[in-house]
Amino acid sequence: MVHHATVRRAMAVAGVVPSGLRCGLMFDDLLQANSTYSEAFTLRGIPPVAAREFALVTCMDSRIEPLTMLGLLPGDAKILRNAGGRVTPDVLRSLVLATRFLGVREIAVMQHTNCALAMQDDDEVRGRLAADGVEGIDGWEFLAMPDPDRALADDVALLRACDQLPDGVQIEGWRYDVESGLIDRVIASSH
Ligand SMILES: [Zn+2]
């Protein structure tokens, strides 16, 4: 028997089912999958420090699979994700904790090609949201990236200038190509 989640995913990919109609049973499917997962759970006892001393800041884009693409395993790295893979105050908060308490010594900011936040500015994002009926966003920063190279350089510079990170932490800026799976090392660390 083919699982109905698989069928629904295939129909969604084929454009048969509008995404808005698929949400009702998704939670059930996910928790059912988790129940199966827990029956063969193998990650008990992994320490909370990052075994490979690495943290990745990247986009929430569903085409990005951070561990597999870098040859990492669960327990190896801290993964911080948000829209665009931007360095925000919350990313700084998390990285100060990750470096001070959880073993992180190397950080990569990995943005990507074809990002939904690229090639536009915040005014355009707010305009699209307003057109969709969203109100009360005048003061919101969406951190859109009209110039992706500039955005990546700014984010790496912001991290390198963060006095609360320990001395010696290495920081790089990468761009992931969603078509090839390859990472471009746009800004290398100094070592
Ligand atoms: Zn993105």
- Note the pLDDT of residue 159: 98
Domain limits, the chain? 4-39, 54-187
Ligand 1 centroid distance, CA of 169 (Å): 25
CATH class of segment(s) 54-187: alpha beta
Ligand 1 mean position, distance from CA 83 (Å): 6
pTM across the whole model:
0.86
* Pair of tokens at residue 69: 């693409």
Q: Are 54 and 78 in contact (CB under 8 A)?
A: yes
* Strands in the chain per DSSP E: 54-59, 77-82, 106-112, 170-176, 183-187
CA of 146 to the centre of ligand 1 (A): 13
Ligand 1 midpoint to CA 1 (Å) = 36
How far away, in angstroms, is 143 Cα from ligand 1 center?
11
Q: What averages of pLDDT result for each successive group of 10 residues across the chain (191 residues)?
A: 50 51 79 97 95 98 98 98 98 98 98 97 96 96 98 98 97 98 95 56
Instruction: Compute the distance from residue 119 Cα to the ligand 1 centre, in Å.
Output: 11
* Residue 99 near residue 165 (C-beta atoms within 8 A): yes
